[in-house]
């Protein structure tokens, strides 16, 4: 299995531009998590889905952020318009409710820089 | 509410020594799971070890063991015979089986540096 796949790995954009981050889950997993990591705030859960349904989006910073799961294996996190304070590493993780430990497998992350 | 606390922002340890990374937690869930992840400088998050709240024995995975003390609500990670490659950030995490569905909350992390 290829593991969780994220793209792009690095993104540099200018303030005001739209940014779309992509994530492909591990085959057979049914839970999807988006995290943001910064030096100041550590690892923050933004939103998570179970079986394509958003369960908890309380971590989404504001309306500029949106996340979707158009199908069971793929998700996008969109920031529109982007701001310099959005600069961070964004991780996607997936897990399976059939796994008794419910361990989350992380993707390699997308390093976002907003100038 | 659930909470994970890691009180050691950074630690330095001599190579080949054992090291204990502290983690305390708080939850009202009767059943929960505890995790440790490693994040090396390359940035990826690597799962290390898992402990269920009803497991009778402390979890072990190779050089990693989890010192689980339920009454004290602590889940310390012990790394035996530390190696230079163990230098990384280490995160303690928890999932409450009833209150938070699949959601896992993470502590603030401990940066471990191994000296040669």
Q: Which residues of A touch B91 (CB under 8 A)?
A: 43
Look over chain A and give the mean of its residue pLDDT values, rounded to a whole number. Answer: 92
β-partners of residue B14 are B115
What pLDDT was estimated at residue B100?
58
Chain B contact set for A43 (CB, 8 A): 91, 106, 109
pLDDT at B95: 86
pLDDT tens digits along A37-71: 998 888 989 999 989 999 888 889 889 999 999 99
- pLDDT, residue B99, reads 60
Decide if B46 contacts B114 (C-beta within 8 A). Answer: no
- Residues on chain B bordering chain A, Cβ-to-Cβ distance under 8 angstroms: 33, 35, 37, 43-47, 50, 52, 91, 95, 100-106, 108-109
* DSSP result, chain A: ----EEE-SEEEE-TT--EEEEEEPPTT--EEEEEEEETTTEEEEEEEEETTEEEE-TT--STTEEEEEEETTEEEEEESS--GGG-EEEEEEEE-TTSTT-PPEE---EEEEE-
- Cα–chain-centroid distance for residue A59? 12
- Please determine, for residue B5, whether its predicted confidence score (pLDDT) is greater than 80: yes
- Name the residue of chain B whose CA is nearest to A50's CA: B102
Q: Report the SS3 class of residue B16.
A: coil
The pLDDT tens digits of the residues spanning A62-114 come to 899 999 999 999 999 999 999 999 999 999 999 987 776 778 999 999 999 99
The structure tokens 């600069």 sit at: A87
The pLDDT assigned to B9 comes to 93
A1 Cα to chain B: minimum distance (Å): 16
Give the closest residue to A32 by CA, choosing from A54, A16, A14: A54
| Contact flag A50-B102 (C-beta cutoff 8 Å) | yes
Test B102 with A93 for CB contact under 8 angstroms: no
What is the least distance, in Å, from the CA of A68 to any CA of chain B? Answer: 17
pLDDT confidence of residue B103: 76
Of B102 and B70, the one with more pLDDT: B70
What does the mean pLDDT of chain B come to? 92
Task: Answer yes or no: do B47 and A97 touch at CB < 8 A.
Answer: no
CA pair distance B15, B78, nearest whole angstrom: 14
């Amino acid at each position: 299995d290829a593991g969780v796949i994220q793209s792009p790995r690095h993104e540099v954009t200018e303030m005001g531009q739209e940014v779309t981050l992509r994530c492909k889950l591990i085959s057979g997993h049914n839970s999807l998590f988006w995290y943001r990591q910064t030096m100041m705030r550590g690892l923050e859960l933004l939103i998570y889905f179970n079986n394509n349904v958003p369960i908890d989006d309380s971590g989404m910073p504001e309306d500029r952020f949106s996340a979707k799961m158009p199908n069971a294996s793929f998700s996008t996190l969109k920031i529109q318009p982007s701001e310099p304070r959005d600069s961070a590493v964004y991780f996607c993780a997936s897990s399976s409710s059939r796994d008794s430990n419910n361990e989350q497998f992380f993707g390699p992350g997308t390093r976002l820089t907003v100038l | 509410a659930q909470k994970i606390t890691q009180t050691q922002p950074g630690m330095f340890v001599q190579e080949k020594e054992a090291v204990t990374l502290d983690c305390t937690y708080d939850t009202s869930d009767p059943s929960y799971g505890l995790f440790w992840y490693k994040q090396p400088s390359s940035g990826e998050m690597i799962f290390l070890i898992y402990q269920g709240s009803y497991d009778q024995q402390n979890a072990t995975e190779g050089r990693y063991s989890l010192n689980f003390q339920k009454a004290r609500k602590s889940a310390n990670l012990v790394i035996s015979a530390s190696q230079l490659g163990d230098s990384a950030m280490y995160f303690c995490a928890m999932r409450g089986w009833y209150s938070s569905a699949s959601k896992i909350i993470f502590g603030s992390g401990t940066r471990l540096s191994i000296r040669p």
